[in-house]
Structures are given as C-alpha cells and as structure tokens.
Amino acid sequence: MSPKQTQRPVAAIDLGATSGRVMIGELVDGRIQLTLVHRFANGPVALSEFETDASSQSLAWDIDGLWSQIKVGLKKAFELRADIASIGVDSWAVDYALLKDGRRLGQVRHYRDPRNELAVPELEKKFSRAELFERNGLQFLPFNTIYQLEAEQQEQRLASADQLLLVPDYINWLLTGQARCEWTNASTTGLLNQRTGTWDQELVRELGVAYKLAQIVYPGETVGSLLPELAQEFGATNSVQVVAVASHDTASAVAATPLASEKSAYISCGTWGLAGVELTEPVLTSQAQRAGFTNELGLEGSVRFLKNVTGTFLLSESLSYWNLQAKQAGDAEVQLDDLLAEAQRLPVPQVLIDPQEEQFLAPGKMPVRISEAIIDAGGFAPESKVELIRIIIESLASSFASQTHEAARLGGFDLEDIHIVGGGSQGELLCQRIADLARVPVTAGPVECTALGNVLVQLRALPEGSHRVNDLRAVVRRSTVLHHYQPVGALKLA
C-alpha cells in the first residue's frame, strides 16, 4: 500500500554548470519525496560551433540543447504523474538571453568567456569597485552580469535587443510566454540596488539595458500558465502553473538548508563553493568589500552574505585532464572515488593553494596549474594523482573554514556551527577537515538541497500546501538523513 499522498506533485527543473535534471517532488506524510526523472550533461561550448565568425576562445551555452533536454524530462515527468500541479526552474546565475520581437538573438554566452575580463577596466573607468559594491553589494567577479553587459556594448545585438532574460527566466518564458525576472537571481547581476531592492537606474542606463529588463517577481509568485501546445506535448491532464522559485540555484539551496540557528554558517558545495551566513540586512561596509564578500538576496527578503570560491570544479577539471590523457594512452579511466579513499590516508599537505585565485577559474590543465602554484608557494609538486587530490581537499577545507568564520564576524556574531549541502557534502574527508579547521561542528546534507528548495517553494505556493510546508527547513529535517562531524584536535585555521 502506497503512502498517503497529501497534495499534487510538482516538477523541478534544476540546471547546473555541469549537468541538469528534471525531478518530481511531492509531500507524503509530511516528508518530501524526490524522484529523478531525467538527467543530462551541460557545459561550455565554443561559440564557433554556432557562429562561424566567432573567436575560437569565445564560450557559450548550448541553450537550445538544454531546452530540448528539459522538454524530454518534462514529458517523462508527466508520463509518470499526469497530475503535476506546477513547474519551477532554477539555474546558475549571471548569464542571460537577449531577445527581439520574441526571438532570441544569438547564443547565451558563458560566464567564463574571456571577453568579460577585457570589459572590467572599461566599466571601472565609470564606476570604481568600491562604488559598485556600495550600490549592488556584490563581490568583484569578472563574470558578473554588469561586466558581461559592458562587453556586449562592443557588439551589435545588445542595441538590437528589446528584452534581457536571465537563464531561468528565459526557460520560464519558453514555458509560458511571460517575461519576468525573479528577484534572487536579479540580485546576482549587479544591476539591482541593495538599498532600494529595485533596478539601479543609473547602471541600467549606462549599460544599455534601460527598458529591457523584465518586471521583478518574488519566489512563490506565479509566472504564468504552461502554454497549451506544451501541455499537450507533455500530456498534462490539468492546468499547470509555472511558479517563480528562488531561481538562483544557491538561493534555492540555502532556503532548504536546515540551519541550526541564526549563528550558523552554510556551505553550498558544487562546481562553485558558496560559503556564508544568512542575515536580515546587507553588509555594505568597506571591510566587507575588501574581504571579497557578496550580498545576494534569498527567500523572504533574507540576505545571503557569502563568498564565491571555486569548489568541486577543481576536482572535476583534474579528473577530465587525467582521463583525456588515459584515453590517449589507451588506459582505464581514473575514478575519483578511488582517489578520495586513498587521499584520506595521506598526511596533511604542508603547502596549499588558494581556490579563490583567478588562475583556477578557467577550465583546462588543472593539475598542471595546481602543481605550478604549489611550486610558486615554495612547495614541491605532487608526485601522484592522490597527492594532488589531497591538496585540493585540504585547500578547499581551509578556504571554507576561514571564509565562514569571516562571514560570521562581518555579520556581527561568533560562528557556532556549519552546515554543508550539495555534492561536496558527500565527501567525508572534506567535511571532517572543515570541522577540524573551523573548530566547530559540521552537519552535512542533503545532497539535493537545490532541488528541495525548488520543490518546497512550489509546494508552499499551492493553495492546499501552504500550511503544510510553511517551515521549509523543518520539512527538510524530517525528509533527509543528516551526517554530523565533530572537530578533532586543536587545529588552527590556515
């Protein structure tokens, strides 16, 4: 006999920098059940694959390929559950589609595109980093939307466009025909003024997007109804709403992170590592700006005060490099789980890397760059793959430990514990070393926190579900198994 179902299910589209998936979520006996329906690969593609005159260095996303996979996933979802009530979309931040007369102009450029770095000094001739931080509260990163738009002004399509939509808003537009901009993701662009919570009119005029930005909506608001032709294609048997979730994937993840108290820090560890605290007001001080922290908006007006650092990207890029070599040599593929198991037995490395350094932002030859950085810092190049993996894990743990303490300090309190979610929460060595170095307990899980946040915001938006999932984090605690790590030894932060 199946468990008692309390309300209709929802579909979550969760797009990450390396993969995407479509999931079904439902509330059963007070707990969330997630069903993976469809998973697909994602990643940067050379713009020259789409545009023959493009530079070989220019990068884009295969957004049409992603849309095709999303439709495959939604069709499978409705085949499993024809009574799906709503759909929600979350994705990575900062990247956007440009439209004119309801048609996309060119490709969605990738945030790692080299053109962004070239645009930084041009924008900073008009607005210093300190002034930008005072307006938008964002950590300087060369791929922030404002720098991408400065680069766009050297190209024709921005002047031609009449609409700019961030990636999840673009998918929502494809689903409904309605153009909206969800608030949490808007806060990552650099165009939203942290003091007013609205578009910064001087910046949007300067960057050529005045009158091209959509109406802001908030998590839980309805974007529109699923287009009839798509409902027919998917096999939906009832009206389906598309709901604005906390569409920046980190906002969804933090919304569902079951923090122990107001003095907890979180780490959302995937391709990127986001380490920070949840506050009620932004921290716009010069100290926060110099320390490289960012203020992004979360559910119910919360502020995610955090720092972006490179996360498991270091591991995945190293693995890709080694497996390319293995393929060329006709050898077996390298397995990350095997390397991690061996790495636990190695001593703590004496020389580490700083995952925040710009040299680790770009893809390609990651083990070579890490080895060079170790040598430059006075150490010896790792002699094996396992040694290099141990250096990455220790470097990530050291960075996360120090940044969470710094976030708490700048936020005005002493850190009591850390909660890590996402793929990195499965790494026992990483979690234990964060606890050791931060000298506070660490709780790990759930892995699928982003999808949980997406689903929970949708369920709460349904008329029959609001009272059942009012406390999102309480539902997560009931729905998942959490793992706990206590600090070992009197270790100091690196």
Residues with active-site annotation: 249
Q: Are 306 and 275 in contact (CB under 8 A)?
A: yes
Using DSSP bridges, classify how beta strands 483-485 and 442-444 pair: parallel, antiparallel or unpaired. Answer: antiparallel
Residue of 143, 211, 152 whose CA lies nearest to 179: 211
Q: How far apart are CA 258 and CA 281, in angstroms?
A: 20
Q: How far apart are CA 405 and CA 417, in angstroms?
A: 10
Structure tokens, 219: 């998590």
Sequence-distant (≥ 6) Cβ neighbours of residue 468 within 8 angstroms: 6, 7, 27, 30, 459
Residue of 198, 200, 184, 187 whose CA lies nearest to 244: 184
Structure tokens, 415: 């850190």
Burial state string for 54-83 with b = 16 or more CB within 10 A and e = fewer than 16: beeebbbbbbeebeebbbebbbbbbeebee
Q: Are 434 and 401 in contact (CB under 8 A)?
A: yes
Give the CA diameter of the chain: 67
| Cβ count within 10 A of residue 384 | 12
Going from the C-alpha of 4 to that of each of 30, 237, 452, 479, the distances in angstroms are: 10, 21, 20, 15
**Which of the 8 DSSP states describes residue 199?**
B
If DSSP states are collapsed to H, E and C, what string results for 20-36? EEEEEEEEECCEEEEEE
Which amino acid is located at 394 in the chain?
Answer: E
Q: Are 447 and 423 in contact (CB under 8 A)?
A: yes
Q: How far apart are CA 90 and CA 192, in angstroms?
A: 19
Going from the C-alpha of 295 to that of each of 127, 139, 197, 259, 289, the distances in angstroms are: 18, 8, 12, 19, 10
Instruction: Give the residue carrying structure tokens 């710009």.
Output: 358
Sequence-distant (≥ 6) Cβ neighbours of residue 14 within 8 angstroms: 20, 21, 22, 23, 90, 91, 249, 252, 450, 451, 454
